[in-house]
Structure 1
Amino acid sequence: MFAKKQFGQNFITDKNLILKIISLLDSEPDQLVIEIGPGQGALTKVLVEKYRHVLAIEIDKDLESFLKAEIPNNNFELVMADILTFDLSNYLKNQKKIYKKISIISNLPYYITSEIIFKTFLNSEHLDKAIFMTQKEVAQRITATVGENNYNNLSVAAELYSHKKYEFTVRKQMFNPVPKVDSAIISFNFNKPSFNIGLEDKIKVNEMVRKLFNNRRKTILNNLGNLIGDKSRAQKILESLGIDFQLRPEVISTSEYLQIYKLVGDFKNED
């Protein structure tokens, strides 16, 4: 089977790397593990030996017969679908009644990395953990903390929904075909979120922060003023929180964004 560029496929070839990645999942055997993009089944073959049920979601129809032949295990379920249109929410709600734990694992296609991560976040209330492989630069952005150059709205979102961690770097030579850049493994523990707020508020905070990062070269005062359509009110909000007007979005912490959100209330939902 050949890797297809349109699906961002790069297959893992190192067995020790596979074992190292899977070791980051919880060892509880009574677990549903969802693998997004199983490819040639390198991780999948190990997962079915460790966990009660493995659901693999694959978009490449050419891999269907190959995967079914390679992994005949009864606890293996293959769904041919695009993860972005797959009804993950309803699926997880039903499965949560059956399994002690549910986790997601994936070597993420580079071209839809953010979309898959956000979809995972939106369903995190039904999940225990997610282990993702991304391009190293993307992993550094996601796991960045306030004040770092890579800190962005995705960094804030990851912190809102989970305890995030940069696990380790993966050299590009461990894939076939060899990609242009190194990758990294990152983990999200949804049982230990840094902030205890409801899903609806998390979604609204994410939207607010995304808009405030749209013009990251501008000050927080200008961006917040544009967002709520009232620079004078924005100044009063920042004053009440003791936040310097001249700071830029990348030096505002997640906890400060939460405080801003609580005072802002409704904001203009326009880009």
Structure 2
Amino acid sequence: MARLLTSSAIRSLSRGLAISPTKKWGQNFVVDANTVRRIVKVANLDADDVVMEVGPGLGSLTLALIEVARHVIAVEIDPKLALALPTTVAHRAPEEHRRLTVVEADAARIKPEQMPEAPTALVANLPYNVAVPVVLHALETFPSLRKGLVMVQAEVGDRLTAGPGSKIYGVPSVKMAWYAKSRRAGSVSAKVFWPEPNVASGLVAFERIESPKANRVEVFGAVDAAFGQRRKMLRQSLKSWAGESADAVLERAGIEPTRRGESLDIAEFVALADAKEALGDAAPPPQEA
């Protein structure tokens, strides 16, 4: 069994590597072993899971993940941390360290060819400033991802899991719903981090669903337009996406033009995209000069 990192061990490693957590990459290292164990338990991993861990840092969560997963692929943007992690894991988990692969890359832009194996689960303590793009990029780029548990800023977690009609329901909520069912899975004290963040943290769990049979680009275009001017009625906000056809698209989709984006669920955004495409297909061909 791996020897998990304690608060003193993390600070010692940091000094030895001349590493200080940086705001640039949103680094807040978890220094509490009980929190790490809790995250792995709530993630509900199987022995055959291939876990994609984003931002492993000094290895607090990594050491707990390799105890239960078949393979952990740690994606780290910081070159110094990426270089140091295999040595730390080999020292503290001599029996399991071969289950780890470290990939030095930006998780918000990583491509399948950069990964040694297709991941089945995403488990990570995500930098607050990039949490949403990282989660959505992972779900879009890796169809093999079946589930995940991410630690994020509490406010971000609320937005990812919000439903229609809520004041915090918006672009992240709808796009997450395209890929997965998500839920809040608990809160995390600021005291388990070094340095302590000045915001609350929480866990978000998700399970992939079959995405709608629709043009994702058009659906997301409708979502971006609707929430780009969220205080305006759809007949106005959707003009940046559907142009002067906005009213016709709404009518064909069976959606009242006086509604606002925050009242629509993912199925209604799909209906909008389908209606726009149908109207485009029905348009007469341009007349020859």
TM tier, smaller: 0.7 to 0.9
1:104 matched to 2:126? The reply is no
Count of paired positions? 256
Cα deviations by residue, 1:215-248 (Å, 9 ceiling, x for unpaired)? 1111111122342221xx4323323444222211
Equivalent residue for 1:197, pick from 202, 209, 213: 213
SS at match of 1:185: strand
**Cα displacement (A) at 1:47:** 0.9
1:78 matched to 2:105? The reply is no
Q: How does 1:26-105 map to 2 (within 5 A)?
A: 26-72=44-90, 73-87=97-111, 89-91=112-114, 95-96=117-118, 102-105=120-123
1:117 matched to 2:135? The reply is yes
1:108 maps to a residue whose letter is L
Aligned mates of 2:142, 2:106 — CA distance in 1: 19
For the 8 Å contact 1:38–1:56, the answer to whether it is kept is yes
2:161 maps to which residue?
143
Aligned mates of 1:32, 1:211 — CA distance in 2: 36
1:219 maps to which residue?
233
For the 8 Å contact 1:221–1:234, the answer to whether it is kept is yes
Aligned mates of 1:164, 1:175 — CA distance in 2: 24
Q: Decide whether aligned partners of structure 1 residues 38 and 262 sit closer, same or farther in structure 2, where only a CA change above 3 A counts.
A: same
Aligned mates of 2:266, 2:183 — CA distance in 1: 16
1:197 maps to a residue whose letter is K
SS at match of 2:47: coil
Aligned mates of 1:52, 1:6 — CA distance in 2: 32
Aligned mates of 1:235, 1:79 — CA distance in 2: 48
Aligned mates of 1:59, 1:243 — CA distance in 2: 44
For the 8 Å contact 1:110–1:134, the answer to whether it is kept is yes
1:211 maps to a residue whose letter is A
Q: Decide whether aligned partners of structure 1 residues 35 and 267 sit closer, same or farther in structure 2, where only a CA change above 3 A counts.
A: farther
Aligned mates of 2:132, 2:266 — CA distance in 1: 19
Aligned mates of 1:25, 1:91 — CA distance in 2: 24
**Cα displacement (A) at 1:85:** 3.6
For the 8 Å contact 2:222–2:273, the answer to whether it is kept is yes
SS at match of 1:71: helix
**Cα displacement (A) at 1:111:** 2.0
Aligned mates of 1:63, 1:242 — CA distance in 2: 53
Q: Could you list the runs of 5+ residues in structure 1 that have no partner in the other structure?
A: none
1:173 maps to which residue?
191
**Cα displacement (A) at 1:133:** 1.2
1:105 maps to a residue whose letter is V
1:209 maps to which residue?
223
**Cα displacement (A) at 1:263:** 0.3
Aligned mates of 2:279, 2:253 — CA distance in 1: 18
Aligned mates of 2:279, 2:188 — CA distance in 1: 41
Percent identity over paired residues: 28
- The TM-score with structure 2 as length reference comes to 0.81
SS at match of 2:75: strand
For the 8 Å contact 2:120–2:145, the answer to whether it is kept is yes
Aligned mates of 2:37, 2:144 — CA distance in 1: 25
SS at match of 1:74: helix
**Cα displacement (A) at 1:107:** 1.1
1:263 maps to a residue whose letter is A
For the 8 Å contact 2:31–2:194, the answer to whether it is kept is yes
* Larger displacement relative to structure 2 (46-55 or 241-250): 241-250
SS at match of 2:205: strand
**Cα displacement (A) at 1:30:** 1.3
1:261 maps to which residue?
273
Equivalent residue for 2:256, pick from 233, 244, 262: 244
For the 8 Å contact 2:157–2:203, the answer to whether it is kept is yes
- The TM-score with structure 1 as length reference comes to 0.86
Aligned mates of 2:238, 2:225 — CA distance in 1: 9
SS at match of 2:98: coil
Q: Decide whether aligned partners of structure 1 residues 163 and 124 sit closer, same or farther in structure 2, where only a CA change above 3 A counts.
A: farther
Rg larger in 1 or in 2? 2
Aligned mates of 1:247, 1:33 — CA distance in 2: 41
Q: Could you list the runs of 5+ residues in structure 2 that have no partner in the other structure?
A: 1-13, 15-19, 91-96, 281-289
Q: Decide whether aligned partners of structure 1 residues 63 and 240 sit closer, same or farther in structure 2, where only a CA change above 3 A counts.
A: closer
